[in-house]
Amino acid sequence: MVVLAKGELEQIALPAVQRAAPPLAAVPEVDLAMAAANAGARAVARACEEHGFFKVTGHGVPAPLLARVEAAAAAFFALPQQEKEKAAAAPGGGSPFGYASKRIGGNGDLGWVEYLLLGVSAAAPLPAAPAGASPCSFRDLLDEYVAAVRRMTCAVLELMAEGLGLEDTGALARLVLAGDSDSMLRVNHYPPRPEPGRLTGFGEHTDPQIISVLRSNATAGLEISLRDGTWVAVPADADSFFVNVGDALQVLTNGRFRSVRHRVMVSSARPRVSVIFFGGPPPRERLAPLPGLLDREGGRRRYRDFTWREYKTSAYRTKLADNRLGRFEFDTTPAAAAAASS
């Protein structure tokens, strides 16, 4: 059982943010099935530049698979607390992976959420399931889900590369497809709020990876921060996926795509269940502007050289709301430029 110190739960309430955020008026949307015919690459690039966020329809992930995952997640979180905690010690589980409740990461962040967090490298592709076979465990089902979502994620990454005008349109997808890609799956369950009001389900943050691909049940709660700092609510859409640009993609595009700050606020009497695939590169991968991008930026790099391993280690020492990329940025203020040229 997770024992919280007296007063810790109060931190989950955000008294300063009592008013509901207005809905995002026009959620940028890309229909993957029609992307080639509809200039999808340009629409994807525009959304990544403006919001670092967009909705994907026509994704090809079978609706029955989504329904099975949603039902299995609800059943898992309905288990007695002890059973869920045993999952933390299951093969493939263990800190920081496995089940946890209320504590997010290791640096004191709390949220009105319980979750499963799993490493899902692409190293061992699943054997094709015999026709009609049904997966025997929740983990098998999640692996089937990851295989389908990873395929779709790669299609989205190819559109991003095309939208960036890269010659090598597979450059981003290859990072997530690599056998040692550091990818993760997170299944979040936000219990209904205990009393009227708004609680922080998952505090504001950017995702460190390249791309996050999120699906939820029909309960709203996700909010994103627009470039001017205004928070807007993303209307729930259980048939679609939502894509977040992560910090690593911001670096790979030399800041052209920007990672999106987002959070989950719990104000509903119904539980929210979300499943997020975080596509990350291999640990040894050097994060540097993709070939071809720098030519268009006068050759000026915004970030110093670092590997994903280095970035993740640094990111996991920060609190959720911190600006994790700051310490990797070159100083591009006019004063610094003047000092460099003198």
Instruction: Count other Cβ atoms within 10 Å, centred on residue 254.
Output: 18
* x-or-dash string of contact with ligand AKG, 174-203, rule CB under 6 A: ------------x-x-------------x-
Minimum gap (Å) between residue 339 Cβ and ligand AKG: 38
* C-beta of 171 vs 187, nearer to ligand AKG: 187
- Which of ligand L4NPZUNZ, Fe ion, ligand AKG, none interacts with 316 (beta carbon under 5 to 8 A by kind)? ligand L4NPZUNZ
Minimum gap (Å) between residue 215 Cβ and ligand AKG: 9
Find out whether 202 and 187 touch, Cβ atoms under 8 Å.
Answer: no
Task: State how far the alpha carbon of 69 is from the alpha carbons of 61, 96, 263, 313, in Å.
Answer: 12, 22, 23, 31
Minimum gap (Å) between residue 262 Cβ and Fe ion: 6
DSSP code at position 94? B
CA-angle at 213, arms to 208 and 219, nearest 5°: 115
- Provide the binding-site residues for ligand L4NPZUNZ, judged by CB under 6 A: 96, 104-105, 107, 109, 117, 184, 186, 205, 207-208, 278, 315-316, 318-320
Minimum gap (Å) between residue 245 Cβ and ligand L4NPZUNZ: 13
Rg (CA), the chain: 20
How would you classify the pairing of strands 29-31 and 53-57? parallel
Minimum gap (Å) between residue 58 Cβ and ligand AKG: 21
- Which of ligand L4NPZUNZ, ligand AKG, Fe ion, none interacts with 105 (beta carbon under 5 to 8 A by kind)? ligand L4NPZUNZ
Of the candidate spans 7-15, 82-90, 214-222, 248-256, the one that interacts with ligand AKG by CB under 6 A turns out to be: 214-222
Find out whether 105 and 316 touch, Cβ atoms under 8 Å.
Answer: yes
- Which of ligand L4NPZUNZ, Fe ion, ligand AKG, none interacts with 109 (beta carbon under 5 to 8 A by kind)? ligand L4NPZUNZ
d(CA 10, CA 14): 8
* C-beta of 166 vs 216, nearer to Fe ion: 216
Cite the DSSP H helix spans in the chain: 40-50, 63-77, 81-87, 138-163, 171-177, 247-252, 308-315, 334-341
Contact positions with ligand AKG (CB under 6 A) in 257-286: 262, 264, 274, 276
Minimum gap (Å) between residue 182 Cβ and Fe ion: 16
Q: How many binding residues for ligand AKG (CB under 6 A)? A: 11
- Which of ligand L4NPZUNZ, ligand AKG, Fe ion, none interacts with 188 (beta carbon under 5 to 8 A by kind)? ligand AKG
At a CB cut-off of 8 Å and minimum separation 6, what does 87 contact? 76, 93, 98, 99, 116
Position closest to ligand L4NPZUNZ via CB? 105
- Provide the binding-site residues for Fe ion, judged by CB under 5 A: 207
Nearest Cα neighbor of 116 from 61, 150, 73 is 73
| Secondary structure of 178-236 as H, E, C letters | CCCCCCEEEEEEECCCCCCCCEEEEEEECCCCCEEEEEECCCCCEEEECCCCCEEECCC
Check binding of 222 to ligand AKG (CB under 6 A). Answer: yes
* C-beta of 120 vs 164, nearer to ligand AKG: 120
- Which of ligand AKG, Fe ion, ligand L4NPZUNZ, none interacts with 318 (beta carbon under 5 to 8 A by kind)? ligand L4NPZUNZ
Minimum gap (Å) between residue 341 Cβ and ligand AKG: 41
Minimum gap (Å) between residue 251 Cβ and ligand AKG: 18
Composition of the chain by helix, strand, coil, percent to 5 = 30, 25, 45
The residue written with tokens 């203020």 in the block is 333
Binding site for ligand AKG (CB under 6 A): 186, 188, 202, 207, 214, 216, 222, 262, 264, 274, 276
